Amino acid sequence: MANGSVYQLIEDCEATHKALYKFYAAVMIITVILALPLNASVLHLFIFKMKFWKSNSNHVFLFNLVLADILLLFSLPIKAYNYIQGERRNSNDAVCKAMLFMLFLNRGASIAFLTVTSIDRYFNVVHPGRKNLLKALKKSPHISIFIWLLLLPLTIPTMLKNFDCCNSHKSDGNQEDTLVKDVVDSLREAVFFTQIVIPFVILVYCTARIVNRLRKKTVGDRTKLRRAVFVVTSVMVVFSICFLPCAIARAVLLLARVEEWREASQDKAAVVFDGLMVLSYLDCLLDPLIYCFCSTKFKALYLSNYFPFLLKDGPLSLDSSTANASNPKRGNVI
């Protein structure tokens, strides 16, 4: 009877470890408190100081990355409230679907723009003289708009209650699984894993090629190559900390359901998955590190506007930060 009760709680999306889920909620609340002003300040610089739409660099990609992070942060307080109430998802159907839409659209956008940023740096370093479509489009908003539009249909399979509760391919003896349900479940899981696995493979390739290029570079300016290595390495760190663990936990959870593990084991797998999903939201705090690695101008401008006491030469204007970006010997901002 006890095992049956645990199984029913899993199916009903009820938290079986309420104290632990309150801890998850606290982590999300702290993330919002720290990340929202940080990302808002970054957004302010991109719009009012750097005028990213006029830039000929990858600032357009970085702007979309911070926009995705901010939109994701707005969803977290509702998720935290549900966890405090002992619910793994919102009981209101419309709110539940809206939450899933926001979470997966903006998480997918965050992963996509991180990947595009690394690909852009890869072409600049490994194939600096070769013309490519990305290099031509990054000066306009077209590729960013395309990425957002491409992500919209990919969120449709995830806008289902049982995805949030990890009930794909469930083995409830009272419900006969149909071919249509199996197809929908498989499609939904394929979208989830594709958004993580394919970008990670691309990032590994870009990182390996850039590092190899740095090793072979014996003459010339190695500073640009080192910065490129920092960029792709930082993106790999974000993926390794935030996205890969939840993908692995999801795979284990699916195996637990398909192989019909004991209810207690399925419950533990679901709890671990929920916790690692909370960990994935920390990318909103880690992404600003990538902004600094990608753009020396951004780093100088951010310090000048919000932490001028860290600069030996005092606050910088946009022009002076640009000059410092091209002349590392001036000031202490790079």
Give pLDDT, residue 123.
82
> Is the Cβ–Cβ distance between 15 and 164 less than 8 Å?
no
> Is the Cβ–Cβ distance between 263 and 2 less than 8 Å?
no
Question: Which of the four pLDDT bands, split at 50, 70 and 90, describes residue 27?
Answer: very high
pLDDT tens-digit map of 93-118:
778 778 888 888 888 888 888 888 88
Element (H, E) at 100: helix 93-126
Residues in Cβ contact with 179 at an 8 Å cutoff, skipping those fewer than 6 apart: none
**Residue closest to 207 by CA, chosen among 233, 168, 172, 241:** 233
Q: Is the dihedral of CA 148, 273, 32, 100 positive or negative?
A: positive
How many angstroms separate the CA atoms of 182 and 172, rounded?
A: 14
Q: What average pLDDT does this structure show over 242-255?
A: 90
DSSP label at 309?
A: G
Q: What average pLDDT does this structure show over 133-158?
A: 75
pLDDT above 90 for 223: no
Give pLDDT, residue 265.
84
Give pLDDT, residue 168.
55
Domains and CATH numbers, the chain: 17-165+177-294 (1.20.1070.10)
How many angstroms separate the CA atoms of 102 and 157, rounded?
A: 13
pLDDT tens-digit map of 307-333:
888 776 655 554 444 444 334 343 333
pLDDT above 90 for 34: yes
**Residues, the chain, total?**
334
Per-residue three-class SS string for 123-151:
HHHHCCCCCCHHHHHCCCCHHHHHHHHHH
Residues in Cβ contact with 302 at an 8 Å cutoff, skipping those fewer than 6 apart: 41, 42, 45, 291, 292
Q: What average pLDDT does this structure show over 38-44?
A: 91
Q: Name the pTM for this structure.
A: 0.80
pLDDT above 80 for 62: yes
Q: What average pLDDT does this structure show over 265-270?
A: 85
Q: Output 166 or 277, whichever has higher pLDDT.
A: 277
CB count, 10 Å around CB of 243? 24
Q: Output 163 or 59, whichever has higher pLDDT.
A: 59
Give pLDDT, residue 63.
87
Burial class of 111 by CB neighbour count within 10 A (0 to 12, 13 to 18, 19+) = buried
CB count, 10 Å around CB of 59? 23
Give pLDDT, residue 328.
39
Q: Is the dihedral of CA 37, 38, 39, 45 positive or negative?
A: positive
pLDDT tens-digit map of 157-212:
666 655 656 555 555 444 445 666 667 777 778 888 888 999 999 989 988 888 88
Question: Which of the four pLDDT bands, split at 50, 70 and 90, describes residue 29?
Answer: very high
Give pLDDT, residue 131.
67
Give pLDDT, residue 106.
85
